Structure 1
Amino acid sequence: MPEFLRRPALLWCGFAIVHAVLIILNLSGIGWPLGDVERVYLGWAEATTSGAVSLGINTDFVYPILALAPILASLVFGAGPYALTWLGLVTVLNGVAFAALTGRRPGPAAALAAWWWLLFLLLLGPIALARIDSVTVPLAILGLLWLRSRPFWGAVLLTVATWVKVWPVAAIIALVVASRRRWQVLAAFAGTSALIIGAALAAGSGVTILSFVTEQTNRGIQIEAPVASWWLWQSALGIPGAVVYYDQQILTYQVIGAGTDLAAAVLTPLLALCVGVVLLLGWRAQRAGASADLLFPPLLLALVLTLIAVNKVGSPQFITWLAAPLILGLVSSWRAWRGPALTALAMAALTQIVYPYFYNDLLATTPAMVLILSVRNLLELVLLGWMLVRIWRLGAASATLSESTAASPGATTHRPILKE
């Protein structure tokens, strides 16, 4: 990488430009990317501050309880500038993670990862800042970066992110499998979770604190989930029986047709089964002697992709989850991770085409939009398969530390990422 691209001033200039562009795109109103923020999050914030409801306490909540923290914090300047405050909050959080990634003088791998993240955000578009997931991503990135210097607090931060939106728990699970410090990780996760649950119980939540679990399991098949492609293509080709509709309770677009009820019922246990298979592959590699530094990034990305690909719930913001494991991989060994990173960039660009600009065409199941979404979903499966192959090779029966290193392309430039 050219030396000038590693200069902090240039990196931060890039950060400012990318976030300014994303904020302008959000505020432009094209496709209404801030719909959830302005309609749903603001409504929740006002209802909570007025005392009408206590989400997660006396009323079921679709997200874990700590999701209320950024939702309420964005109301600090009132309802009028709520969306702008939200965008500012996410930008600040991204800035904290960006600072941790680049430091005072970033090395080539860290600088490359930083530029990749900025390009990823730009290609993903306004949705990169406009959902609750946008809060969890910088928290997860910061937690993962802390695992080398302060593993306990890294695990604590990943736990906090999990109680905002569930997906960062994949990092905790992957650490338990890949790292020898699994008991410290489990202690951090259990202790932090106990404090959060204890505070909610003291406020009178009872089992409502776990309502986000049942709220998710009761959903139908959302149109952006990979499994929905079967019915979307039926509708796009004019085959009767497949319909896109808006679920007023969940506030999402879903698909209904022959077999959708069965698919929705099967997908939840299938997701659990697939997660179990990924973990078994990771455990096999760990037992064969694969180092945690080599095993953890692909195992984490495989788990995150499984949560996306084998799921009846699908939303454009789910693609933001990929940033954390890919940044970790790029920092570890950019040569080994440039292929997956480029694949993720293509996925981000395809996602922005679908949402927000041509989402109405997707709802009308026009063949072009269904094709673009199908290609994006196919790339999710391709990237998942790529990671599973990498984990399998690390777990070859004759694996030793040196052989595991050789099994990872570009491993000669590998940089330790976990404190063991």
Structure 2
Amino acid sequence: MDRLSTTVRPYAWGSTTAIPELLGVAPTGEPQAEMWMGAHPGAPSGTDRGPLSELIDADPVRELGAAAVEKFGPRLPFLLKLLAAGAPLSLQVHPDLAQAKAGYDAEERAGIPLDAPSRNYKDANHKPELICALTPFDGLCGFREPTEAADLIAALDVDSLKPYVDLLHAHPEEAALREVLTAVLSADPQEMAATVTEAAAACERLGGGYAPYASIAHHFPGDPGVIAAMLLNYVQLQPGEALFLGAGVPHAYLNGLGVEIMANSDNVLRCGLTPKHVDVPELLRIVRLEAADPGVLRPEASPAGEELYDTPIDEFRLSRYVLAPGAEPRDLTAHTPQILLCTAGGVTVGELTLTPGQSAFVPAGEKAEISGTGGGPGTVFRATVVV
């Protein structure tokens, strides 16, 4: 097995303190948004044997196992991350597999460069994802009931928002959400900026459940995504709780530290809270215009000590072990590839010792026993696939 060296992505929305605190190192003062673990071409993890991506390319069956290669091809189908949000991420949705393939093929035929700002589809894969909170974690996930969104917006008492309130009350669910989302994202930018400014002041004044939207507006003054965000469920995760984001579900992470796992893809359709390209017609084709409970996940414990976050996705499977010092080792040997990430205390994986923020890649079939190292419980997340 291999200890992974990882890349930290310094995106502007990243926390300056959360990842350094987990690692037990001094902050640099710069944002540290994501630490990537995997073989994604954008930042493949390193090992003593070379980049993980090159190891897999050289012998995919040895590293991934025959069953995983047969099902997913000769690549690691997931990317594991530590995600530390100090400011809101963009409001976004992801396509399903058929939509991603069709969109990618269409943009390839049109000759749109992969790095073009207007490009929607960077690959032909879908991007389901799961975020598990390590600290209290705030986010937006899925549409509220239209009448609930109408009541939330109506309380702001902003004249220019009153037509949206009427629409949310007057139409069937899908039509209401479609018309209001379209109107918000297609409005005259100057007029919408003035509306957002007035709405943000109302949120500041009302406080309480409006405080998250005041904070969003502080980071993105005048952005129509501030109003779009009020159409979504606001979710507060406690440590150990998780959200699964399937295709077409609008979402945004606002604040907190978590373990994120996703299928390997860069396909994002943005709805706001971003200076990047927003393709409203394509977004409306992809987004699921239906109210839904965000569905907070809690892990399901097995007699073997594994706590599983159950999702309907085969490209990744995420679980957690909390290891008491001196307890019997847990045998994690599997015929699938695994990445093991320590997030608390200390754990041993075979001959490797992992401290918070450190991770290891375990090739398919490699013997893998984990145990706590003493001095308190050790927590390790296990990422693998379903074959």
TM range (shorter): under 0.3
Which structure shows the higher helix fraction? Answer: 1
TM-score, normalising length: structure 1: 0.22
TM-score by length of 2: 0.23
